[in-house]
Amino acid sequence: MTLQELVHQAASIYSDKIAVCFDECNNQPPVYYTYKTVVNAASELSNFLQLHCDFQGIREVGLYCHPGINLPSWILGILQVPAAYAPIDPDSPPALSTHFMKKCNLSYILVEKQQINKFKSSYEIFLNYDTLKEHSDLVLFRLHWKNVEGSLMLNNRKQKYEKEEMTNSTNSGNSNEEKSEEHMDVRGKHCLAYVLHTSGTTGIPKIVRVPHACIVPNIQHFRCELPVPLGFPLLGTVVEVRDTNGFTIQEGHGQVFLGGRNRVCFLDDEMTVPLGIMRATGDLVMVKDGEMFFLGRKDSQIKRHGKRLNIELVQQVAEGLQQVESCAVTWYNQEKLILFMVSKNDLVKEYIFKELQKHLPSHAIPDEILLIDSLPFTSHGKIDVSELNKIYLNDLNLKSECKLNGKEELWEKLQYLWKSILNHSEDPLKVPDESLFLNSGGDSLKSIRLLNEIEKLVGTSVPGLLEIILSSPILEIYNHVLQTVFPDEDLVFSKNYAVKRKFNDVNQEETSGKSLRQKSVMMLSCDDELTAFTAVSRGSQILSPNTKFLTKLGLCSSAHSSDLMSQTNIQNVESLNPPALIRKSKDPSCVAEVSEEGTCVLAAKKMELHVRWRSDTGKCVDASPLVVIPAVDKSSATVYIGSHSHRMVAVDLYSGKVKWEQILGDRIESSACVSKCGNFIVVGCYNGLVYVLKSNSGEKYWTFPTEDAVKSSAAMDPTTGLIYIGSHDQRAYALDIYEKKCVWKLKCGGTVFSSPCLSLIPHHLYVATLGGHLLAINPATGNRVWEHCCGKPLFSSPRCCLQYVCIGCVDGNLLCFTHFGEQVWQFSTSEPIFSSPCTSASEQEIFFCSHDCFIYCCNVKGHLQWKFGTTSQVYATPFAFRYQEGSSEMLLAAASTDGKLWILESKSGQLQSVSELPGEVFSSPVVWESMLIIGCRNNYVYCLDLSGGYQI
């Protein structure tokens, strides 16, 4: 069975159904191809290649193009020749791609017509080629490698590393592959599917040829087994742990090896490989009592800009430069790639950057280069990384003490920082005055970096700068900084920059000043009915306004439990506890899964997570799910979530079937909120509108315009039914969705990115801004009760409990206030806090996460109870839940940005399970019954079943 045969099977059944959708993100509608169109175009390309290509040896065809609607047809056409598909990235450095093509001894390459000029200009000094024929939007070239040098400048250490890598990868120890006489031959006509250029565990780039027999079982596994369990080996995969001598172990420390009879890939120049060969993954584990615990990587592999990178590759390429005597690379605070260099002569950093860009992909280019006199070593003769970090920190401090020589230097330095952080360093042109940071490839994390770099440059804090970075062009950023540093200088204006768009005016004053009468029951129209339901959202928040009580999943909701006790029947509170979340596992042994990126995912298998369903939204899912469970029919529970594809979807919680889908006007990062009556869903959008949708159909009921993007998630007041939400226009709004009007709006002194938080006793609405302000507002009138300036931006949402309100700050502190505005304590981490806090059932513990890669638990006095180190920054809000009905034992779910899901014991912080999704995660997990729901940047919403092997 081959990949193309799988496609043809589907095409024979679904000929006229949509096979491919491509969205160019240019405000134009997506383009669609049916299976019939894809297969016909592929066959035409296959016939063309068969006519004009004369293959000798391994059949491989390169494809030099950008992603587009035709890409699947082109790949399929190459496979049908039959030949292997070899992707060549137009944005990759030509020297790197030339190394790949030469190592493959690639004879033919298809070049997209739109990329012809770029291909010729990029490769004319590296390649000899003939132009053969044109076909549709492609041009076929024949490559000649005689007297052509394609080098990565890895010096003469390269061959040594390659030999070591081959030895490490194929070392069989006491495994059975040596006994096998069967081999797979790379030269077989139908053997290869595709060829990749990757980085080995030593950092040296390798060529990996992947046969159909290796990849097809993955697809068959996902076809035949739905849901696919996370943590179990895929079909035909064998997992072993071996010690340093290559022997399989059952206890102790070792490295994970993966293989299987047909799990065979060809590395570099391998022509035949024994069936069943085992390959080293580079993942180090400890095996104890039949369980595997992940310890780290054998190499220096990191994940940067969404791609895996071995930092040794950066070091080896830098060492290959003639002017470099020695160097070292560090991953500073898991955020910055710093290259330390000892030079043979005086070097200009820009020259080094340009040389590295010739030989490294963009995600491997260092953030900064530091020239030093000599490398520091430990007493054991190894590079002293901690000393290098001190050198870098001292350099930062020196920079902050340097004074700028006028506004011209400020403009030059701002341009440099802009390009550096956005990886546009190679662009020699000036950044256009009207350039927007987010539209140029920036995001909220990079905006924090730019903010910090600017403040280090000018040596002082710049109030309000973050909002300017996120919403205004570079010239306005410059003017804002100029006013702080050189207040007497005249501002510079661009003729090309249009005033920020305005949406329909709201015909209310900033605050109406009129008191809104508190209503115990919302006045609905005669056609509306109250629906009894339970709504679960991020941070362990659970509301049930129409069952006469509010409570949480064994935890504090936005309205804390003391408020509820004073208003409702205490006997009703416990009825919302879900069924037991954990079942005893019949097989508590630890197993591994190969992720879509080829890395081994390991877990401490006291708990296992299995994919119940996944739903494709078309683009990244950064919003967090809202789960609404009707009281009458709990089996019809629904997950509501939005995507960067502009889609708002309602998905059946148990089956994963899409109930409805509504296309909004722009990206959706806001998490949904349910109305008091249960009949509407409220969500914000990048186009500045707040959408009110009918919960049963997705039909648009009302839209309310703010004056800028709405990334804030709404909060609902169960006593009045009002909806509260913030906007990038620096206002907070109170909306009466039934009367379709704005009750009040309030200017908050900064962009409102996070979600408002409501307290019932006292009746306060808490709103945080990127200007660093935390406000307590009267929810009825919109008047300020008190305000505190935290000094740095607040991305975190406030969280209420019985006595306090807590919030995380970009300065790395978790801040705690009384409901009357008095700061009680602060707890410091070493990096910014974007995560919102959540509390335990007793409200005695507060859980939150930091960019320093730790999950924290503090008591209500601000004292650390425990902290747990993850493998990446944590942006999302944790979720605490009860694992067994009637038990006081609680667990905590958290997600790090590298896609890992962590399940911990909430009292001790002890790891119970870790699994990995195939994409970055900024969405926060939500747990209901035995299901964990979360969004992922691979475009999918996931529902995972939790099961475990606790001994009770």
For residue 794, pLDDT over 70 is answered with yes
| Residues ≥6 apart with Cβ < 8 Å to 411 | 478
For residue 607, the cross-strand partners are 948
pLDDT tens string 471-487: 789 998 998 888 877 77
Query: What is the rounded CA–CA span in Å between residue 655 and residue 652?
Result: 6
CA distance 846 to 363: 36
pLDDT tens digit sequence for 692-726:
999 999 999 999 999 989 999 999 998 889 999 99
The model's confidence at residue 231, banded by pLDDT at 50, 70 and 90, is low
> Kind of pairing, strands 84-88 and 60-64?
parallel
> Is the pLDDT at 90 greater than 80, yes or no?
yes
Could you tell me the pLDDT band of residue 594, with boundaries at 50, 70 and 90?
very low
The predicted structure's pLDDT at residue 224 = 66
Rounded average pLDDT over 237-264: 88
3-state secondary structure (DSSP) of residue 762: coil
pLDDT of residue 73: 96
Biggest alpha carbon–alpha carbon distance for the chain: 87
**What confidence score (pLDDT) does residue 779 get?**
92
- Position with higher pLDDT, 416 vs 444: 416
393-423 confidence digits (pLDDT tens)? 888 777 656 667 778 888 888 998 898 888 7
Q: Is the pLDDT of residue 173 over 60?
A: no
DSSP-derived letter for residue 212 is H
pLDDT at 538: 94
Q: In the prediction, which pLDDT does 550 show?
A: 37
Can you tell me the mean pLDDT for 199-221? 75
Q: Is the pLDDT of residue 260 over 60?
A: yes
Q: Where are the alpha helices (DSSP H) in 381-501?
A: 385-401, 407-421, 444-458, 465-471, 474-485
Residue 390's φ and ψ, nearest 5 degrees, are -65, -40
Burial of 661 (0-12, 13-18, 19+ CB in 10 A): middle
Backbone φ, ψ for residue 329 (5° rounding): -125, 135
pLDDT score at 198: 66
Q: In whole angstroms, give the CA distance from residue 821 to residue 805.
A: 9
Note the pLDDT of residue 288. 80
Q: Residue 907 in contact with residue 915, Cβ under 8 Å?
A: no
The pLDDT tens digits of the residues spanning 100-117 come to 898 888 999 999 999 998
Among 354, 219, 367, 332, smallest CA distance to 831 is for: 332
d(CA 852, CA 871): 10
Structure tokens at 719: 């006593």
Question: Which residues touch 251 (CB under 8 Å, ≥6 apart)?
Answer: 287, 288
| DSSP class of 853 | S
- Residue 588 identity (one-letter amino acid): P
CB atoms within 10 A of CB 71: 16
Q: Of 92, 34, 282, which is closest to residue 169 (Cα–Cα)? A: 282
What pLDDT is stored for residue 515 in this prediction? 34
Residue pLDDT, tens place only, 850-895: 998 999 999 989 999 999 999 989 999 999 998 766 556 789 999 9
**For residue 737, is pLDDT > 90?**
yes
Quote the CA–CA distance of 775 and 415 in Å, as a whole number.
35
pLDDT exceeds cutoff 60 at 646: yes
Q: What is the DSSP letter of 113?
A: G
Query: Residue 322: what are its φ and ψ, rounded to 5°?
Result: -60, -30
Q: DSSP character for 404?
A: P
Is the predicted pLDDT of residue 616 greater than 90, yes or no? yes
Report the pLDDT value the prediction gives residue 489, as an integer from 0 to 100. 62
pLDDT (tens digit, 9 = 90+) per residue, 28-47? 788 999 999 999 999 999 99
**Statement: residue 945 has pLDDT above 70:** yes
- Phi/psi at 724 (5° precision): -115, 135
Spell out the residues 6+ positions from residue 429 whose beta carbon is closer than 8 angstroms to its own: none
Q: Measure the CA–CA gap between 756 and 200, rounded to whole angstroms.
A: 47
pLDDT, tens digit, 9 for 90 and up, residues 271-303: 888 888 898 888 888 888 777 777 767 767 777
Q: Give CA–CA dist 873/803, Å, rounded.
A: 30
d(CA 952, CA 950): 6
3-state SS assignment for residue 524: coil
Taking 80 as the threshold, does the pLDDT of residue 621 lie above it? yes
State yes or no: cis peptide before 87, omega within 30 of 0.
no
| Model confidence at 525: pLDDT above 50 | no
pLDDT tens-digit series, residues 121-136: 888 888 888 888 999 9
Residue-averaged pLDDT of the chain: 80
How confident is residue 364, by pLDDT bands cut at 50, 70 and 90? confident
Comparing 440-444, 508-512, 702-706, 772-776, the range with the smallest average pLDDT is 508-512
- 259 burial (CB, 10 Å; 0-12 / 13-18 / 19+) is buried
Determine the pLDDT at residue 499.
Answer: 36
Structure confidence at residue 265 (pLDDT): 86
Structural tokens at position 329: 């690379």
Q: What is the distance between the alpha carbons of residues 636 and 549, in angstroms, rounded to a whole number?
A: 21
Percentage of the chain exceeding pLDDT 70: 80
The answer to whether 596 and 918 are in contact (CB under 8 A) is yes
**Residue positions counted in the chain:** 952
Helix (H, G, I), strand (E, B) or coil at 39: helix
| DSSP secondary structure code for residue 774 in this structure | E
CA distance 83 to 46: 9
Task: Round to whole Å and give the CA distance between 901 and 895.
Answer: 5
pLDDT at 547: 46
Closest of 892, 794, 902, 812 to residue 850, by C-alpha? 812
pLDDT at position 100 is 84
- Count Cβ neighbours within 10 Å for each residue of 191-216 and write b for 16 or more, e otherwise: bbbbbebebbbbbbbbbbbbbbbbbb
Alpha helices in 80-134 (DSSP H): 94-104, 116-123
The single-letter DSSP state of residue 918 is S
Average pLDDT rounded to a whole number, residues 355-364? 80
Whether residue 203 is predicted with pLDDT greater than 80 in this model: the reply is no
**DSSP state string for 428-446:** -SPPPTT-BTGGGT--HHH
According to the model, what pLDDT value does residue 299 have?
Answer: 64
Higher pLDDT, 235 or 334: 235
Which of 282, 289, 238 lies closest to 604, judged by CA? 289
| Cα distance between residue 859 and residue 807, in whole Å | 14
